[in-house]
Amino acid sequence: MITGHCIGVWLQLQEIWILNVAGPKDDKCPGIHKQTSRFLKNVLSEHNFNSEAEPGQCI
């Protein structure tokens, strides 16, 4: 199972600066936007990503 922690570690190791998220729209899959936003916020906050950091730099 891929966890939020694993995704955060992968983002850091790969020095991902831009992440394109694609999938079904909320009208086709009700609640998906809220669920995805919550998941990504948790991943990014857990790994202390800073939106003002330089590319490849995590705090």
Q: What is the mean pLDDT of the chain?
A: 81
- 14 CB neighbour count, 10 Å cutoff: 9
DSSP state of 54: P
Helix, strand, coil percentages (3-state) for the chain, rounded to 5, are 40, 0, 60
- Quickly state the pLDDT bin for 12 (edges 50, 70, 90): confident
Of 59 and 33, the one with more pLDDT: 33
Q: What is the pLDDT of residue 58?
A: 46
Domain boundaries, the chain: 1-13+26-49
For residue 31, the one-letter residue type is: G
Q: Are 23 and 38 in contact (CB under 8 A)?
A: no
Mean predicted confidence (pLDDT) in 2-31: 89
Mean predicted confidence (pLDDT) in 37-54: 75
Q: Are 45 and 7 in contact (CB under 8 A)?
A: no
Residue 38 has pLDDT above 80, yes or no: yes
